[in-house]
Structures are given as C-alpha cells and as structure tokens.
C-alpha cells in the first residue's frame, strides 16, 4: 500500500501512534485533524474521528478523497459481546454490521439497510490475516476473528448485549467500525477493524470502560504497530 489511513475514535486510541510518527504535517478538514507522516518507514495518515458513525463516515471519506489512502485500519476499544471474550482480549473484524439500523417496521430484518446489496461489510482478507497473525503472536489465545457490531449507543446492559450475541452474532460492539466499513466498501478500499475489549457491555461497562480503556487502547496499538512494520 502507498498510504495507509489509521483511525481511532478517541485520544487514548491514537496518541501512541502520534508520539511515534515522523515528519508530521497537520491538516484540518471538517474540524478533524489529520496527521500525515512516516511510521516504520511507511506513509500513514492518522486521525481521531470522534465518537459515532457520522464522525467515522466523514473521516473515512476524507481519508480516501483528500489523502488518497489505499487501505484503512481502525484501532481502538470495544465492549465484548461474545461471552468467551474478556477485558483485554482482541477482536479482528471478519465483517461489520450496524446494529442500530432498524427498519423492522417495514419488514426488514434488524440490522438490514433497506434496498442495499448488503448490510454486512467484509474486511480485507490480507489485512485480516496479518492482524490475526500478529495478534496471536503478541496475545496468544486471547484473540478472535468475528463480527464487529456498531451503533450510536454505548451498550451497558446484560439484556441488550445478550441480544447482540444471539440475534446478530456479534463478537464485540462499538460505535464506529461499521460506518468505516460501509464507506470503505462504497469506495472499494480495503479495511480491517482491530478492537481490544475495554468492558463486557453489561452492567459493569461504564466502570470497566473508565478503568481499562487506556490498557485496551495500548493492546490495539501494539497490534497495528506490528502490522505497519510488516505491511
């Protein structure tokens, strides 16, 4: 790849990349700061999208149009949905779905975007394989490939997270990945989402999120750091 876009939603999720970048040029578009520069000798464009699907979508389209990125990696934290996952564990996206897309009143299944070819946006195979491989090297068995569910909701209830697992087969839930994935698919740009679990999206999620976000962000950084070395 010529230029790789690296997105995180929050400061914690991008600050280590920023510290290790070289020859950084800053550009502001739509109120978002884009840091273009070198990282392990590769050209990357790093940015903090802000939280939620709209921020993630706008950021992704700007990375593609203005900075000409030819691949996008999202790095950050998520709530675990698969009951086998614990705080600190890693999810590498196989595909992404917007769990808050709800046109069930018109007969569409939950998560389905009406009149589109697909609502499941599939990760790039090469990026996914590399992410899983380096994740396994660093974190051993605490890594799963699976479906990333995104919605403009912080999930913090056992009942809600249970449905995300049983009805939508999610591995984890967060607030940006499926928006990045949809925009990448619309533009035919390869992507992968890498998330380390900060919480279990249950009754303890707020407390755990506050406690573990920094460590989980660091986990995700270590994976993307190794990926960028090997790409």
List contacts with ligand ADE (CB under 6 A). Answer: 77-79, 154-156, 173-175, 198-199, 201, 205, 209
Residue with the closest Cβ to ligand ADE?
Answer: 79
What are the angstrom distances between the C-alpha of 86 and each of 64, 122, 132?
Answer: 34, 24, 17
Catalytic-role residue among 12, 89, 95, 199:
199
Minimum Å distance from CB 221 to ligand ADE?
15
Query: Cβ closer to ligand ADE: 69 or 87?
Result: 87
199 part of the active site: yes
Query: Cβ closer to ligand ADE: 45 or 60?
Result: 60
Query: Cβ closer to ligand ADE: 130 or 223?
Result: 223
Token pair in block for residue 61? 């389209």
Which has the closest alpha carbon to 77: 94, 59, 89? 89
Minimum Å distance from CB 151 to ligand ADE?
8
Query: Cβ closer to ligand ADE: 37 or 111?
Result: 111
Chain-centroid distance of CA 84 in Å reads 20
13 part of the active site: yes
Q: CA 49, CA 223: separation in Å to the nearest integer?
A: 20
Catalytic-role residue among 13, 89, 124, 176:
13
Minimum Å distance from CB 227 to ligand ADE?
21
Minimum Å distance from CB 161 to ligand ADE?
8
The residues, ordered by sequence, that sit 6+ positions from 59 with a Cβ below 8 Å of its Cβ are: 7, 30, 32, 47, 49, 50, 180
Minimum Å distance from CB 94 to ligand ADE?
19
Query: Cβ closer to ligand ADE: 43 or 162?
Result: 162
What are the angstrom distances between the C-alpha of 186 and each of 61, 134, 136, 150, 226?
Answer: 10, 28, 30, 17, 28
> Which residues are identified as catalytic?
13, 199
């Amino acid at each position: 790849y010529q230029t790789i876009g690296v997105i995180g939603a929050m400061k914690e999720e991008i600050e280590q990349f920023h510290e290790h970048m070289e020859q950084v040029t800053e550009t502001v578009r739509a109120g978002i700061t884009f840091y273009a520069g070198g990282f392990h000798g590769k050209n990357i464009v790093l940015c903090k999208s802000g939280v939620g699907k709209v921020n993630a979508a706008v950021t992704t389209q700007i990375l593609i149009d203005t900075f000409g990125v030819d691949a996008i990696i999202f790095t950050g934290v998520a709530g675990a949905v698969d009951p086998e996952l614990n705080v600190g564990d890693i999810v590498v996206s196989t595909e992404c779905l917007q769990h808050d897309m709800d046109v069930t009143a018109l007969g569409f299944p939950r998560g389905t975007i009406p009149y589109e070819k697909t609502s499941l946006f599939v990760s790039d195979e090469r990026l996914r394989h590399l992410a899983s491989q380096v994740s396994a090297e660093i974190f051993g068995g605490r890594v799963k490939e699976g479906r990333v569910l995104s919605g403009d909701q912080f999930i913090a209830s056992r009942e809600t997270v249970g449905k995300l697992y049983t009805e939508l087969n999610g591995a984890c839930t967060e607030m940006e990945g499926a928006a990045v994935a949809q925009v990448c698919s619309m533009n035919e740009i390869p992507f992968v989402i890498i998330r380390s679990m900060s919480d279990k999206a249950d009754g303890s999620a707020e407390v755990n999120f506050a406690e573990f976000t920094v460590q989980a962000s660091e986990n995700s950084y270590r994976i993307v750091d190794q990926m960028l070395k090997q790409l």
